[in-house]
Amino acid sequence: MWMAGILPASESRTGALRELAARGETAAAEAGIAALLAELFGLTATDVRINRDQYSLNSLNGFFSAGGADYFFKFHQEDGEEAMAGEYYRAGILAAAGLPVDMPVHVSREPGAQILVYRRRNEPRFADTLRALDERNETSPRALAAEAALNEKLLAVYRRTLHPITPAQSAGEPIHQLFHNRLVDAGAFPGGRYKSFYLNQEVTLPGVTLPWAEFSRLRFVINGAAYRDTLETLFTRAEARLRPTALADAGGVTAHGDAHNANVWDSADGLSFFDPAFAGEHVPALLAEVKSTFHNILAHPFWLYDPDIAAARHSASARVEGGALHITTDWAPSPLRRALLEVKARSFWRPWLAELQSRGVLPPDWRDVLRLALFLCPTLVMNLRAGAGRHNPVSSAIGFAVAVMAGSPPVAAAADIDLAAPLLT
């Protein structure tokens, strides 16, 4: 019996550790991590320290020592993961494909006990580099050049590995844990995080509190610009179009799948990945770079990962008028993030979409696919309702507004109010 009195070994051990850490029982969680490292790898871990990390929305990471060396550990525990049979943490396939990836020294792929151990590095993560720039409201030619160089490597690998995939191959990829699987329970919709986060709940924004059933059926007017789709419409369409079997139509590639910048080292010789929890060889071609695009660009500055800072720096208000939810906010992507969006569009998305078009595999509704996937990134990575997790009324208003601006086209086309526009032209 592992961690006697806490959780049977047949259940999710990493999930139990995350719960302990979330409850503030840090010493117990660190002791449990040491026990897990001993069981899985035969390591005698000392000085186990959990890292207080705003980017760890669904994961836990930290440091320990063993045998005179220092290590970094990370695990990503997903809902229902302990019942899944798929392989995770396949860093080898990324390296073989030519992607820059840090190779772990120890890996456990056992469902419910999946963990990576790396030699400890001194370089910052790219997320930390960019956050420091956001705090100073600066851009950086070096950071933009590093992003462009990584995109060029991604594009080369995706072009080389693009191949037809079957619906079954698509469905077998773990990346769907980040998207469609969060909408369903055993295939039934509504379910998953969508159901537990929002259905039969209340949403509180500055100036208005509404039950989800009403809130989700209102069209949004954000800073005076009207958007076509309601939240209910977007979730319902996402469930149908982002089904794993439906995403085989554009082919598959070898990809990391979850390369947000907290999973990217920023080294003098360039950017490199780690934590390939959702890597695969048949990753749907339109889905592979969505998570990194949203979380590295549109989730900043501050509102998703640092909601208290967002509330201190920005304002937001809401009212229901004329059958629509009107949100007014002074939040906007920083100059750095706008520049990163243009780099991502220019050096990856536009040439990649052109590649898919030239090979005859770009589906006619590709814009809908990208918008719906972008929409699910913020709404299902964590609960956007104020008081349900990290969010407050101001950051909740910003969050729902950003989700709609990414997921729904504006009623009147205008690039400055369409966050996804640079990716879709």
Domains of the chain: 13-119 (3.30.200), 126-424 (no CATH)
Over residues 69-92, the mean pLDDT reads: 70
pLDDT classification of 105: cutoffs 50, 70, 90: very high
The whole-chain average pLDDT of the chain stands at 92
Per-residue pLDDT band at 75 (split at 50, 70, 90): confident
Asked if residue 167 has pLDDT above 70, the reply is yes
Give percent of the chain above pLDDT 90: 82
Kindly give the pairing relationship between strand 270-273 and strand 106-108.
unpaired
Q: Phi and psi dihedrals of 265, rounded to 5?
A: -80, 140
Out of 48-52, 80-84, 146-150, 350-354, least confident range: 80-84
Q: Report which of residues 81 and 55 the model is more confident about.
A: 55
Q: What is the pLDDT of residue 88?
A: 58
Instruction: Give how far Cα 63 sits from Cα of 7, 160, 174, Å.
Output: 23, 36, 26
> Which residues face 325 on adjacent strands?
220, 320
Lowest mean pLDDT: which of 1-15, 199-213, 219-233, 370-384? 1-15
Question: What's the rounded mean pLDDT across residues 147-152?
Answer: 98
Cβ-proximal residues to 261 (8 Å cutoff; 6+ apart), any chain: 125, 126, 127, 130, 292, 295, 296
Residue 80 pLDDT class (50, 70, 90 cuts): low
pLDDT surpasses 80 at 416: no
List, in order, residues 6 or more apart from 135 with CB less than 8 Å away: none
Q: For residue 154, is pLDDT > 90?
A: yes
Question: In this model, does residue 8 exceed pLDDT 50?
Answer: no
Name the DSSP letter for residue 412: S
The DSSP bridge partners found for residue 271 are 266
Q: Provide the pLDDT confidence category of residue 415 given band limits of 50, 70 and 90.
A: very low
Using pLDDT thresholds of 50, 70 and 90, give the confidence band for residue 90: confident
Mean pLDDT on 340-350: 97
**pLDDT (tens digit, 9 = 90+) per residue, 300-342?**
999 999 999 999 999 999 999 999 999 999 999 999 999 999 9
Q: For residue 50, give the nearest of 23, 69, 81 by alpha carbon.
A: 23
Sequence-ordered alpha helix ranges (H) in 76-166: 91-97, 126-135, 141-161
- pLDDT (average), residues 211-238: 97
pLDDT greater than 80 at residue 82: no
Q: What is the pLDDT of residue 393?
A: 98
**Residue 242 tokens, joined:** 């982002």
pTM over 0.75: yes
- Which pair of tokens denotes residue 77? 């525990």
Mean predicted confidence (pLDDT) in 10-18: 79
Q: Count Cβ neighbours within 10 Å for each residue of 313-351 and write b for 16 or more, e otherwise.
A: ebebebeeeeeebbbbbebebbebbebbbebbbebbbeb
Note the pLDDT of residue 87.
Answer: 53
Residue 360 or residue 423, greater confidence: 360
Q: Are 91 and 279 in contact (CB under 8 A)?
A: yes
Q: What is the pLDDT of residue 388?
A: 95
pLDDT band (50, 70, 90) for residue 417: low
Distance of CA 172 to the CA centre of its chain: 19
pLDDT band at 413 (very low <50, low <70, confident <90, very high): low
pLDDT digits (tens, 9 = 90+) for 357-383: 999 999 999 999 999 999 999 999 999
Exposure string over 189-226, b if 16+ CB within 10 A, otherwise e = bbbbbbbbbbeeeebbbbebebebeebbebbbbbeeee
